[in-house]
Structure formats: C-alpha cells, structure tokens
Amino acid sequence: MSTPVWLGIDLGTSGCRICVIDDENKLVFQRQQTFSSHVPYPDPPQQWQIVLTLLRQTSQSADKENWQIRAIAIAATSGTVMRGRPDGQPDSPMLRYDNAVAIDQVNEIKAIAPKHSGAHGIGSGLAKYLYLNQHYSSDKPGLLMHQADWIATQLGGQAGITDYHNALKSGFDPVALCWPDWLSRWMPATALPRVVAPGSMIGSLSDTVAQHIQLKQDIRPAIVAGTTDSLAAFLATGANQCGDGVTSLGSTLVVKQLCNQPYFEPESGIYSHKMGRYWLVGGASNSGSAVISQFFTDPQIKQLSEHINLAQQPPWYYPLLTMGERFPVADPDKQPQLTPRPEQDSLFLHGLLAGIANIEAIAYQRLQQLTATPLQRIRTVGGGAANAIWSKIRQQKLAVPFIAVAHTEAAYGCALLAKEGLSSFEREQDD
C-alpha cells in the first residue's frame, strides 16, 4: 500500500525549494537549489529546468519510499509577470517583482486605478504587463501570466488561470472577486486569466512531465492553483484562526493578522489578502533588525541580550535607518530617534529591542482598530524570533499568548495548500 503525500514548490527570490508532507503534515522530504547572487536571476527556461531537476530527485525518493504524490502547489514571487500565448507559453521575457522599468506604466495606473487597488507601485504586476505589451510587438495584448501560473501550466495545469493572491498586484478586486472595469482601458477581457481560490484543482501532471521526472505512480498528481511566496510562508506557520497574528522580525518589521474584514491603505503599505472567509491584513514598518545591525553583530546581540535587566526602564527610541515611516503611521518626515545612547551597550540594545516592540504593539492596535478584530495570539518568524529576551519584552507589551512555530518555509506552506486548500480558513470558528 502506497503512502499519500503532498508536494509544494517555492520559486522564490533566492532559490527553488521543494517540500513533501504526509497525511499528518510531517515534513518527509525537501530539496533546494540556491540561485547564485553573482549571476542574473534565472530566465523562464532555466527556472523550468531547475524545477524539473528537483522534481526528478523527489520522484526517485517517492519510488524508493512507495509514496503516492496526490497534489502539487506552486508559490512564486508576487508581482513577477510575463505575457503569454493562449496555450500558456510565454511570448515575452519575465519581469521580476523588483524590476523598475515600468515607471511610466506605474504613473498611468496611478491616474486611473482606485486608491485601494493592489496594482499601485513599483511592485505592480499590472504595470510590468503593460510595459511588456508596449515593448514587445503583437497583434493584440497577450495573456497576463504570473510566475506561479506559468510553472503550473508547464506542469500540466490549465492555461489562463491564476489565483486571487497572485492576481492582487495585477489589479484584481479581492472583495468583489472580479477584474475591475477600469482595466478595459488597456486590455480586453480575453487577456485576463480566470481567477480561482488558491488550492483549487486546475489540472493534473502531464504525461510528458511525469515521464521526464520518471514518476512511476499510475494516478497523476493534481495540479492546484498556487499563491505568493510570502503568503505560502504565512500558511506554513499554522496560523488559521481569526485574530491570529504573525510578526516577521527580519530586516524590517512586518505584522499580519487574520481579520473579519479587509482594509486597504496603499500609502501606508496596508493590503488585505483574502483567506477563505477571512482576510490577512498586514503592513510593514521601516523599523526592524537592520537598525540593530548598524550597531551590533549577531554574536554581540546574543551576548548583550543575556545582560539585559527587564526590570530596568530602557531609553525610549524609535529605531529607523533613515528618515521616513510607512506603518503603523505613514509619515515620510518621521525622524529616527536613537539618542541619548547610554554608556552600557546592554541598556542601549534594550532600548532598541523595546523600541521595535513598541512599534509592533502600535501596529497591531492599528490593525485591530481598522478591522474590528481583536488580536488573540502571536506567532513569530524571522531571525529575531530566536531572541528569548526580545520575546519577553514583546509579550509584556502585546499581552497575548505567543505560539511556537515549527515551519516557516514557503514550500512547506505550499504543500499544505496542495493537501488542504484553504479549508482551514473556511470553517466556523469561536472567536
């Protein structure tokens, strides 16, 4: 008897990773290939070969362990797009999320799109698509394809389908669940993909791919609609209850909370992603661990943290690298507050940690006010999650339970999506 497993693929900014989970959500296999920072990001054919290589390794283990892969889901970078033919094959280069060539198109969108649209800004998938239409000749606008859509189509998924997470930055309205009429200014409806919920079945692994990766099982794995890499990482944490918050303590501070209603404020970087019956509302501060790294190395932070006296009042700081804050308060003139610096380095670090914790607390207060959803519990990801003293400082300010996180990999979140879709966000919950 074969063992059912589910497979997630994350094609991210720094590499490609595959995770496989079993019926109990246990991670049973993972492989990755890191992209070199010294060469350009792989083009679509190179990306596809990397995916095939990792799938072939997975297939070998599946044969050895007698696994049956039930379904596959893909996550990729949000706002990375290309133009495609009706069969789902690209007829333009891929423009990455951080490519700034479409500044003229960004300004066009700014003049037309509603303020709350996710299509605004340099990260806009729509802006890059419009740029491709204007710079790569064709009789008519090609199909709008996101990076995850293209990989899914290559695997055997139906062409011309995307998910409502990837579609947000291309102008999709997640509240009305439709492409808005104002998009007709630039393209016909036939250029827009059909939008489905992440985890929806959109096809099955093609015979060609199955033969190429030497997959021996008789029943072909389902291909399901994917998500973005950041939202797949959220799924990996296990947060799925209304009121769950996830804080990322990386170079910047990012807070997200599952809420009853959406809220959009692009000038503050606040967006809402539909998660079944709930909404994942989040924003990012310009504060974060990058400020601390200006003053201390990781070993110094670890050593000094052990000498922090939590009973002692730390200095009040608003840690920023440069002028300007976006969330929880949109203030381009906000000045860093990092003085006076005490003689004790441990007290200075205490002030920095407490300052970022204050911003986190204010951010969650703001999300609760905007969405009328009380914060119930916190999960923490990112490098700062390992600092026990920082966790204690944050717990004092947030006054909600902190839940340990076993997984943070986007590929693991994708494997969960392949297995369960967004079903855990659809159930009635006691808030």
Per-domain residue ranges for the chain? Answer: 3-230, 241-406
**Structure-block tokens of residue 305:** 């943290």
Asked if domains 3-230 and 241-406 share a fold, the reply is: yes
The Cα–Cα gap between 286 and 318 comes to 10
Question: Given a cut of 80, is residue 212 above it in pLDDT?
Answer: yes
Q: Report which residue type is found at 367.
A: L
Q: CB within 8 A of 313, min separation 6: which ones?
A: none
Say whether the peptide bond before residue 340 is cis (omega within 30 degrees of 0): yes
Say whether the peptide bond before residue 90 is cis (omega within 30 degrees of 0): no
Please give the pLDDT value at position 14. Answer: 85
CATH architecture assigned to 3-230: 2-Layer Sandwich (3.30)
Indicate the range of 117-126, 259-268, 421-430 predicted with least confidence. 421-430
CATH number of 241-406: 3.30.420.40
Q: What would the pLDDT profile of 84-125 be if each residue is shown by its tens digit? A: 998 999 999 999 988 999 999 999 999 999 989 999 988 899
Q: CB within 8 A of 405, min separation 6: which ones?
A: 237, 238, 379, 380, 381, 385
pLDDT, averaged across the chain: 94
Residue 156's alpha-carbon distances to 70, 72, 296, in angstroms, are 14, 11, 49
Question: Given a cut of 50, is residue 394 above it in pLDDT?
Answer: yes
Please give the pLDDT value at position 396. Answer: 96
């079945």: which residue's tokens? 201
